[in-house]
Structures are given as structure tokens and as C-alpha cells.
Amino acid sequence: MRRDHRPYILKRLDLGFQKWYAERYLRPQFEALGNGALFMKPWHVELFGGPISLGRYATVIATPDRNVRLTVWSDLSTGGRITIGDYCLISPGVRISAATEIRVGDNCMLAHGVFVTDSDWHGVYDRGQPIGRTLPVHIGENVWVGDSAIVCKGVSIGNNSIIGAGAVVVKDIPENTIAAGNPAAVLKTLDPGRPIRTRRDWLGDPDSLASQFDLLDRHFMRGNTWLGWVRSLILPRQGD
């Protein structure tokens, strides 16, 4: 469909149901889940093991073909943890797998298909070893990791840095840089004279932002009817 044919009230009910589902079924699985976290299609968000923490006003988007998977799997001697900060964006297909520790700072954006791992998940010489070598991963604040990038064990990414699409990060990336490639290398340093606006700045007044989105929904969905919505599902036509 090129546009949403649902009546406005149906969309509001759908959003309400998704919020209820996240509170009822996802919140108990987190060690901590901050206020204002928004889950889109929360039934396609999978948590395994723990502890897993997600900060305030995070946005997690999942789709039927691209589940979001947050996994902690560790041996008893070390434990493991995933900590994701405030105002982060987790896109469809993101996988975060921790045996020791993965920490994602505030305002980070993980694009479609990003994989972050702190372990080899098998021994190099003993392929039956379930965890393998593991080293913590630390992603600083306001980091943007591009589509399908992989962040490997032992890596630290500095504040404000950008990781290009498809990059494989196997060594530390300093702050305020753009890195890309396999293996990822620094290509550019950000201009220190230019201010950086973060997701916290955008989401700083959530009530006002919600009102703006609601006004947009009312505008674009005006005139939508129940009959028109059903017709678009059963007998779609050009332009739907």
C-alpha cells in the first residue's frame, strides 16, 4: 500500500495495543526499561538471557521479516550484560549478542541489520567450545552505525562517530570520525566547529512531539472510512 487507509481511530487503537503488549510482555524481560520507550511491532522483538537494560525514550522497530534480537549467553564464570542508553534507535533486523558486556551509549542509532557481538561464539581451535574468546564492546554516545554493519568483540567506538553501511569494525574507532570498509578504517574527521543535534534534542519534549504526530495522522487520514479500508485490503487498485 502507498498510503494508510485505516480510519484514524483504528490506528490509535493499534498504537495503544502495541504499547500495552510491550508493557505486558516485554517489560518483565528487561532488567530495566526506561519510561517512554516505544516499540513498533513489539511481538517481533526477542530477548534471551539477561540482564538486558534499555533506556528512556528509546525507539525499537521490528518487522515480521526482520526481528530485533537481544541475546545474553554466557558461561557461569563470567556472566554477561547488554546496556542500551536513553533516546536510542534500534532498527529492524538489529542483533546484539553478548557473552561479557555490550554497552551502547545515549542517542545512538543502529540501522537496519546491524550486528554487535562481543564473542567469537566458537573456539578457534575447538569448534565445540560454545563461547570462544570474548571481549567487551563499548559504543559511545550519539554514534550512528550504518545498515548491515558488524561491530566485533573488544571494539570501542568514540562519541559522535559514524560507521558506514556494511562496515566490519574490528578495532577501536576514535570519537568524531567517519569510518567505513572491511576492516573499517577512519575516512574523515567531523568538523569540530559544527554543532551536532542529537536524538535527545529531537525527543526532548515528548508530549509536544506526540501532539505533532497526532496532528499529522489526523490530516493524512481524514476521510478514511471503515469501508474504504476493507476495500483496500480485498480489492486494491492503482494508487492505493
Please tell me whether residues 118 and 171 are part of one structural domain. yes
Instruction: Going residue by residue through the chain, which has 240 residues, state the pLDDT in tens, using 9 for 90 and above.
Output: 678 999 999 999 999 999 999 999 999 999 999 999 999 999 999 999 989 999 999 999 999 999 999 999 987 666 899 999 999 999 999 999 999 999 999 999 999 999 999 999 988 888 888 888 899 999 999 999 999 999 999 999 999 999 999 999 999 999 999 999 999 999 999 998 999 999 999 988 888 888 999 999 999 999 999 999 999 999 998 887
Q: How many domains does the chain have?
A: 2
Q: Which residues of 84-93 are buried (b: 16+ CB within 10 A; e: fewer)?
A: bbbbbbbbbb
Cβ pair 119, 100 in contact under 8 A: yes
Q: Is the peptide bond before 51 cis (omega within 30 degrees of 0)?
A: yes
Please tell me whether residues 209 and 176 are part of one structural domain. no
Cβ pair 5, 232 in contact under 8 A: yes
Please tell me whether residues 90 and 173 are part of one structural domain. yes
Question: Considering the entire predicted model, what is its pTM?
Answer: 0.92
Please tell me whether residues 25 and 38 are part of one structural domain. no
Domain assignment of residue 65, given as a range = 32-193
| Lookup: cell for 148 | 548491515
Residue 93 inside a domain? The answer is yes
How large is the angle between the packed helices 8-21 and 206-220, nearest 10 degrees?
A: 140
The CATH number assigned to the domain holding 67 equals: 2.160.10.10
Query: What is the distance between the alpha carbons of residues 61 and 93, in angstroms, rounded to a whole number?
Result: 9
Please tell me whether residues 11 and 86 are part of one structural domain. no
Please tell me whether residues 106 and 41 are part of one structural domain. yes
Please tell me whether residues 114 and 14 are part of one structural domain. no
